[in-house]
Amino acid sequence: MDWSRRALEMAGAVAPRGSRWRGPVADVPRHLFVPRWWSRASGDGPYWELHDGLADPERWLATAYSDQTLVTQVGGSHADHARPGERSKEPRPTSSSTLPSLVVRMLRHADVYDGADVLDVATGSGYSAALLSRSLGGSRVTSVDVDPYLVEVAAERLDGVGLRPAMLTADATGPLPGAYDRIVSMVSVWPIPPSWLTVLRPGGRLVTTLTNTSLIVPLGGRSPEGTGGEPVGESWGRSGGRVGRTSLVVCV
């Protein structure tokens, strides 16, 4: 399958020219991290409909390289384990591959630099860990998730494309090992877990999303990718599936 052209086009759309993230977005085969996914459908009431990439390769590539969030788990049902044609009436998604433009925006706010040790909170599909590992090298990246299956399958898919970050199964709101220059969380929290500040090195930066707020929060430091000025939290709408949340940058 010719995925590289689609990835290159998506990179041009979601990462600004000159961004260190344009190359990784173009190089990482996102479709391999989301071989199956759920989408909202309607019929006898709203429900989640399963899609299998191998059963429809053209749709798989078109969906994976579009700037949208792909839901991989609803309730306790992961798409990897669902039966062909299965539908779910679970009320909410519990894991996803976040839309690439938002992932890039979060990573840009982190102002990642070569040699930085980065903690990726909420492994999900493994896509954000893949971008970080492609940019920094796997030895600089640790990805954590509370769900053992998500960690296991993401590690396998990362290894399959030659990326080997450290993978950790743990409740990221509790004690964490190591020390990091940057922490990027793809899951919303409030309040910020004290353990994150414990493992964040002096001069480090933390980027997360806040639950149940649409506030824009400026917190000093440099703007995305060190371009000068103050970084400002960003709110976003329904396209990202994160209505009423805000990006937060913490510098210590």
Q: How far apart are CA 174 and CA 83, in angstroms?
A: 35
pLDDT higher than threshold 50 for residue 235: no
pLDDT digits (tens, 9 = 90+) for 163-209: 999 999 999 999 999 999 999 988 888 888 999 999 999 888 898 87
Q: Residue 91: its pLDDT value, please? A: 85
- Average pLDDT for residues 106-115, to the nearest whole number? 92
Domains in the chain, start-ordered, CATH in brackets? Answer: 4-96 (no CATH), 100-251 (3.40.50.150)
Q: How far apart are CA 247 and CA 189, in angstroms?
A: 11
pLDDT higher than threshold 90 for residue 121: yes
pLDDT digits (tens, 9 = 90+) for 123-136: 999 999 999 999 99
Could you tell me if 128 and 69 are in contact, meaning their C-beta atoms sit under 8 angstroms apart?
no
Q: How far apart are CA 243 and CA 232, in angstroms?
A: 17
Q: Residue 225: its pLDDT value, please? A: 57
Could you tell me if 98 and 240 are in contact, meaning their C-beta atoms sit under 8 angstroms apart?
yes
Query: Of 13, 203, 238, whose CA–CA distance to 111 is shortest?
Result: 203
pLDDT-derived band at 229, boundaries 50, 70, 90: very low
pLDDT higher than threshold 90 for residue 220: no
